[in-house]
Structure 1
Amino acid sequence: MRDAGPVALTPGDTRWRYSSTRGRGKQASTSSRCRPSPGAVSDVRRRAGAVLAAWRVSPDVVEDALLVVSELLTNAIVHALPPAVLRLVWTRNAGLGTLRVEVTDAGPAGQPPAGIDPDEHGRGEEIVHALASRYGIETRPGAVIRWADLVTV
């Protein structure tokens, strides 16, 4: 993996790291906040696609990863307290690549928003589980982190 230089997920956001992981391969990561506004998820999804392209992640993984990004961010915006923060970590080791998609929020917001049709929502977790090699939820004081790993050869 070559250093592709800084790639911003949000305008002016150049928090991007590229480092060796103690002889176990190479790793790149970036993060971005997502505000609960119309179009926010699609904007972050588009920027995430640019980051993954710069990291030369396999197009097959990128397609699945962008769907996972959309599902996890939408879940955080609709059902949790802000902010929703997306973090992407790409690790290459011995020919294998692992992309971790993490979305952190401030915990459950309580009642779901009015007007949500249960027939149109509620499948995001199933989609993430189907696409990810591994997935999980971590809770910390004031934060919930939902993550999914996608692995490529």
Structure 2
Amino acid sequence: MRVEAMEEAKEAISGDRAENPSMDKPGKEKRKERKKMKRKQLRKEAAEREREAEEARFNDPNELNRLEREQEEERERREKALKEFEERERAWIEAMETKRQEQEEENTRKDLEEKAKREKENFTCFFPEYVRESANNNSNHLLF
């Protein structure tokens, strides 16, 4: 045994062997590989546990009932949102239709006023003395 210790000391002095074994490249690569494999194994185990938990959830009747309730609630929320949207859209369309009708009535009224004004002008061209008489009588309407 003492001989082996002496040989190791000679090798250390001569530089045949590295002082720091962590710097030894093959050993360092082996450690990195072991660490990599350990991380891979841990990820694999975690994924397996997650799959098992997922299967357990889908096989659990309470969990299935909860999922069905959530899906039903989501469907009801979507239907409610759609109805609200359709109601707002219908109200908007009705408001636009009312506005369009009012605009048409206003345009019709203006057209009638313009037509009456033109007829009055035409009437005064042909019968100016009648218009002066009716103006003196404070009559604001035309007599036909």
Bucket of the pairwise TM-score, normalised by the shorter protein: under 0.3
User: Which one has the largest radius of gyration?
Assistant: 2
Q: TM-score normalized by structure 1? A: 0.19
Structure number with higher helix proportion: 2
